[in-house]
């Protein structure tokens, strides 16, 4: 099973008056890591759009548990892997490591979706092709 490592530097503007990372930033880093992971396998959204007619990988759920704070100048790693394949959705899990300690863990659930032929303003979830799942093994 493939894992992606996304290195992130905690900048001054990412932290709050308590001196720690303001929590929505972790979700921004999750989103980045998911995208970089897929790109690293040649599965960028533009290519997927052309080949499968899907529209990005829309998010339908996100969750994080904050175990230990990270601070200005910390160099953290977001470790990302696909933790579950469903028929039309998948769960991508993220763990933030700070000096080897698990600081945050969470996941995103994203959907494999196309525009509805009868109403392009709306999306329709469709089954994820097997070769996509295989690419992450």
CB of 113 to a copy of itself, least distance (A): 12
Which residue lies nearer to a copy of itself by CB, 119 or 130?
119
Any contact of residue 56 with a copy of itself (CB under 8 A)? yes
Binding residue for a copy of itself, selected from 2, 3, 5, 23, defined by CB under 8 A: 23
Question: What tokens does 50 get?
Answer: 């052309």
* Among 2, 5, 11, 102, interactor with a copy of itself by CB under 8 A: 11
**Has 16 been annotated as catalytic?**
yes
Q: Does 32 bind a copy of itself (CB under 8 A)?
A: yes
Q: Alpha-carbon distance 93 to 102, whole Å?
A: 13
- Which residues are within 8 A (CB) of 90 and not within 5 positions of it... i.e. 6 or more apart? 82, 84, 109, 110, 112, 128
95 contacts a copy of itself (rule: CB under 8 A): no
Paired residues of 56 in beta bridges: none
Tokens coding 88: 């039309």
Sequence-ordered list of residues with C-beta below 8 angstroms from that of 106, at least 6 positions apart, any chain = 26, 27, 30, 62, 63, 64, 65, 93, 94
62 lines the binding site for a copy of itself (CB under 8 A)? yes
Q: Give me Rg for the CA atoms of the chain.
A: 16
Using the rule CB under 8 A, is 97 a contact of a copy of itself?
A: no
Give residues in contact with a copy of itself (CB under 8 A).
Answer: 9, 11-13, 15-19, 22-25, 27-28, 31-32, 35, 39, 44, 55-56, 58-67, 72-73
């Amino acid at each position: 099973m493939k894992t992606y490592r996304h290195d992130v530097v905690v900048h001054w503007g990412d932290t709050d008056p308590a001196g720690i990372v303001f929590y929505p930033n972790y979700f921004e880093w999750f989103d980045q890591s998911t995208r970089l992971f897929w790109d690293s396998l040649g599965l960028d959204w533009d290519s997927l759009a052309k080949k499968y007619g899907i529209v990005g990988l829309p998010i339908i759920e996100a969750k994080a548990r904050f175990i230990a704070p990270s601070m200005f100048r910390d160099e953290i790693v977001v470790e990302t892997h696909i933790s579950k394949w469903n028929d039309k959705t998948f769960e991508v899990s993220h763990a933030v490591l700070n000096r080897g300690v698990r600081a945050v863990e969470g996941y995103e659930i994203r959907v494999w979706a196309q525009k509805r032929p009868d109403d392009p303003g709306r999306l329709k979830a469709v089954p994820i092709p097997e070769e996509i799942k295989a690419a992450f093994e």
